[in-house]
Amino acid sequence: MLTLKLAFKNVTKAGLRTWLNVLILSFAYVLIIWTDGLYDGMSKQVVGDMIDMEIGGGQFWERNYDKFDPFTIDDAYAPIPENLEELVKNNEATPVLFRASVIFPQGRVQSAILKGIDPNQKVLKFPSEYLNTGESDYIPGLIGSRMAKNSGLKNGDIVTVRWQDVNGTFDATDIEIVNVISSYVQTIDNGQIWIPLKSLQEMIGATNVATVIVLHKDIETIPSGSPLWEFKDHNFLLADFYNYLDRKGMGSAIMYGLLMAMALLAIFDTQVLAIFRRRKEMGTMMALGMTRGGVIRLFTLEGTMHGILAIIIGTIYGLPILYFSAVNGIAMPEAVEQVGLSLNSTLYPVYGIGLFLSTSLIMFISVIVVSFLPTRKIARLNPTDALRGKIA
């Protein structure tokens, strides 16, 4: 109790030394939470976008379809089963047909997957309505900005595509790029051209077939599948993304550790310095009747209090900042769109109580350890140094 009082007194009386320490610590604390929240927000947002634009409330896959094997694509089509047809009519599901193709943009050869989607579908937030172009000589095609970059295609370009129909016969036609969508979801963008479902069905010579059937994300009951159609839930459909996040997570853990190390180094530094600078002070305290254990406890507690103060101060000025950025989002610079995941230009960080608690706890424990370690050395300090009047 006395130690606590004394530590509190020392910390509050030390003025600038305390506040510098606490400020650095609290910066680190807020920064750790902020980056973590940003990271969480980022993945939540991408997941949200993927659900909105691509995977909906889950998908039925034609049993031959294997997304890791492009050679399966041309075999992966089947008539839409009746129970799903019903959902499609009610705007609760929408079929998508895939087809491997080769495109010839500006004389080059490139493979691409054609994806047929109903231009009037209301299931996904995918902007398929661009495909409603009325009368035209060309089949309208929609590509993502990534695809546009890779292929050099742009709005208004005509590109020749070649594909095989259900009989294995090659055929070719021209597609007019009617829009380049800046997509947030990589998996609807890379190497794909979206065209009207009916057109693709005609091109391959099969009516009413699809490769996947996407359910509306708000669908209440998942309809039953069939031997031909297997249901794939979110876990399955997002697994790649989560794997990706895990790999990214390593990066964020390193970042977290780095920030923490910075903060702890600051404390460690001041504590180590304190041993040398405050040696005389400690010797004096011992000469005045404080026990060695008492001195160790006192100095450890002082360091710990820096941690507590940092958490309090960080919370006081950090909370409004964190709250503000969580509510209003953070405008992302262009550069971020270049990295692996494409993102909305405004990002909403997500801060969970768990994040606060775990960061606080880790901070707290680390501060104790880092304060204790150098202070323990004092146990070996001879209080006679103080009495001898050495300035060291």
Partner 1 sequence: MTNEELIIAQDLSKDYPIGGDFFRALDGINLSVKQGEFSGIIGPSGSGKTTLLNIIGALDTPSDGSVNVLGNKVENMTHTESANLRNNFLGFIFQTYNLLPVYNVYENVEFPLLLQKIEKLQREEMVMQALEWVGLTNKAKSRPSQLSGGESQRVAIARAMVKKPKIVLADEPTANLDADNSHHILKTMVKLNEELNTTFLFSTHDEKVISYLKRKIMLNDGKLVDDILVN
Point out which residues bind partner 1 (CB under 8 A): 2, 5-6, 9-10, 13-15, 280-281, 283-294, 382-384, 386-389, 391
In whole angstroms, the minimum distance from the beta carbon of 25 to partner 1 comes to 19
Alpha-helical runs (H) found in 288-352? 292-328, 334-338
- Dihedral angle computed from the Cα positions of residues 172, 176, 178 and 179, in that order, rounded to the nearest 10 degrees: 70
In whole angstroms, the minimum distance from the beta carbon of 1 to partner 1 comes to 9
Backbone angles phi, psi at 260, to 5 degrees: -65, -45
In whole angstroms, the minimum distance from the beta carbon of 287 to partner 1 comes to 5
**Beta carbon nearer to partner 1, 109 or 391:** 391
What is the token pair recorded at 379?
């146990």
In whole angstroms, the minimum distance from the beta carbon of 294 to partner 1 comes to 7
Is the CB of residue 320 less than 8 Å from the CB of residue 328?
no
Closest by CA position to 383, among listed 278, 272, 303, 299: 278
What is the token pair recorded at 174?
């021209």
In whole angstroms, the minimum distance from the beta carbon of 52 to partner 1 comes to 59
C-alpha neighbours within 13 Å on the C-beta side of residue 368: 7
User: What is the spatial distance between Cα 146 and Cα 127, in angstroms, rounded to a whole number?
Assistant: 16
Distances (CA, A) of 32 to 37, 252, 311, 367: 8, 10, 12, 15
**Beta carbon nearer to partner 1, 122 or 388:** 388
**Beta carbon nearer to partner 1, 5 or 149:** 5
In whole angstroms, the minimum distance from the beta carbon of 382 to partner 1 comes to 7
**Beta carbon nearer to partner 1, 121 or 304:** 304
**Beta carbon nearer to partner 1, 105 or 383:** 383
**Beta carbon nearer to partner 1, 16 or 327:** 16
